Each structure stands twice: as C-alpha cells, then as structure tokens.
Amino acid sequence: MTRYRRPMELREVPEPTAGDGEVLIRVRAAGLNPVDYKTRDGAMRLVMHYDLPVVMGNELAGVVEGVGAGVTRFAVGDRVFARVDHRKMGAFAPYAAVHESLVGKMPESLDFAEAAGLPLAGLTALQGLRDELGVTAGDRVFITGGAGGVGTLAIQLAVWLGAAVATTASPRGETLVRSLGAETVIDYQKQRFKDVLHDYDGAFDLVGGQDLKDSFDILKRGANVVSVAGIPEPTTARVDLGLGPLLTAGFWAISAPIRQRARRRGVGYRFLIMHPSGTDLDLLAGLVDGGQLKPVTDRVFPFQQIADAFAYLEQGRAKGKIVVQL
C-alpha cells in the first residue's frame, strides 16, 4: 500500500461554484464510511486518482444554496442529500458542488445528521440486494455484519423486498439487528454460521475474509454471493470502475481463487462497488418517510472533532452510522 505523505488535515478551502448541471449545497452534516480511511491510507490509489490536495468526504446532507445552468430538479432552499461523485469527493467542507443527477430530496422525517448517514450505505444495500442479488418475496437472504452502517440498512431493505433475513452480529448488536427485522441472528464470536445455515437463496457479504468463503457453503446451487468487502473481480473493474483491459486482467488474477471456490460450490460471485444515484436516493427517502426504513446513527461528532470520528469508525464496532455535523 502506498501512503500519502500528509494524509489528512483540517484547513480552509475556497467555496466551490455550481457548474453546469450542478447544485451548490451548504453542507449541514456528512457521513463517515470505511472508504474514507481506506482512501486516506492510500488503499484506493490503484483505482482512484485525486488531484491533491482534495477535500475528502463521500456523503452529505444540506440545503441548496445555488444552482448551475440547466438544473431542473432542485431550487434554492431545498433540503437534499447525496452520495457525491467518488472521483471528486468533497463532502467534508462547508459547501459542496454536486451534479443534480446524484442528489435526492431529503426524507422529510429526518434531521440533517440522520440523513447524512443514509446515501452511501443505503445505496450500497439497495443496489446489492435489489440489482445484483435480485432478492424477491419469499427468499431467504444471509447478510454478514448486520450491525454496521451498511448492515442496519441492508436488513431492513431485504425485509422490504420480502425476504427472511439471517445475519451475524456480536451480543452488542443482537438486539439492534433483531429490531430491524433479522429473524435469525448468529453470534459470530461463538459460532460459525456455516454450521447452522443451509439452502439460502443469496448472500450479501459486508465482512469479507473467511466469512465470504463460508457464505458459498450455505447457498442453494445457482444462487449468488454479492460482496462489498471481499475481493474485487473483473466485473468490478469493467462495470463499476470503468477500468481498461490491463487492470481488469489484474482483477481477474487476484480474484481467481475466490471465483474458483464459488464455481466449485455451484454459486456465483460478484464484488460490487456501489454507484451514486439521485433516483435511488428518492426511493430510499420515500421508504424512510413511509416508515419502512429507519436510519441508525451510532454517534454524531462536531466537525472540528473529525479526527476522533475517524478513530471511532476505525475501531470497526459502530452500530449504524458515524456522522459529523457542520
């Protein structure tokens, strides 16, 4: 891993302007995600190139303060939220300019801090379960790591899609994941889930490592594992990242063992990198306001304490989301 020389610091930045098709958002709160510390640590450098210095931060909630030419969906004063363009970032700042296609109207029933933690994890869960796993009513779905930022939303979205959900959690997260709709909860510190579960219709892996490998063993033949924490594969490179043949070949090589393992079990394997989408955010907002989806916020930090927020997130014990408030 190649690290950046001066990875992260607080400093004054110029206010951005809204370009064509962009809205200028006064940021009121921003969500933290593991990708933030992975980016800071240089773990994403192979696939993500930034012109340094760059304003970090991948999701936000705030108020529209200005609109660029051609903007049709938003007006000054709208309360909005967004997973910003991952090639640009920019959520950890007082203002962000974001293309309107990536922005959604904030759920009316949420405050800014609650809404700021929804875009990245919510879109990940929605796209993983609905688009990649194709979860339908009556499916039995297994989700690793149900108590975290993505897991707390994934459980609820799988239930909304009509699935019965099994998940892993420690005793610290068990009550929470049950309250969100998980029917079967396995304490991963005491038991291997592959000793208990079998014939599942799909698995959504948020943990990676041995959990990803074990998830192949609990599925029906022909079912799929979608991971967001395991090993990227050629579709990740081509479709999600738009990389060329050389890097795609590299992803093919590093994922060969895990794809072979899946093949031997008769199941499919896909590593997904979520994509920003204002349309999907509107869907999530509708579910929140309709009472079918409830964001879970673990802690809210003042923006000045963002380093503490990073340290807390990096412990990997968060129940739901970590947010900074501006």
Ligand X SMILES: NC(=O)c1ccc[n+]([C@@H]2O[C@H](COP(=O)([O-])OP(=O)(O)OC[C@H]3O[C@@H](n4cnc5c(N)ncnc54)[C@H](OP(=O)(O)O)[C@@H]3O)[C@@H](O)[C@H]2O)c1
Where does this chain bind ligand X (CB under 6 A)? 33-35, 120-121, 124, 144-145, 147-151, 168-170, 172-173, 188, 206-207, 211, 228-229, 272-274, 313, 316-319
Shortest distance (Å) from residue 61 CB to ligand X: 17
Shortest distance (Å) from residue 201 CB to ligand X: 20
Q: What is the DSSP letter of 111?
A: -
300 strand-pairing partners:
323
Shortest distance (Å) from residue 53 CB to ligand X: 23
Shortest distance (Å) from residue 131 CB to ligand X: 12
Q: Is 63 exposed, middle or buried (0-12, 13-18, 19+ CB in 10 A)?
A: middle
**CB closest to ligand X, residue no:** 148
Q: In angstroms, rounded to a whole number, what is the distance separating the alpha carbons of residues 90 and 5?
A: 20
Q: Would you report the helix, strand and coil content of the chain in percent, each value rounded to 5?
A: 35, 25, 40
Which CB sits closer to ligand X, 192 or 261? 192
Which CB sits closer to ligand X, 231 or 288? 231
Which CB sits closer to ligand X, 140 or 319? 319
Which CB sits closer to ligand X, 13 or 241? 241
In the chain the first and final C-alpha atoms are separated, in Å, by 32
Which CB sits closer to ligand X, 16 or 31? 31
Asked if residues 22 and 71 have their Cβ atoms less than 8 Å apart, the reply is yes
Q: Is 242 exposed, middle or buried (0-12, 13-18, 19+ CB in 10 A)?
A: exposed
Shortest distance (Å) from residue 44 CB to ligand X: 10
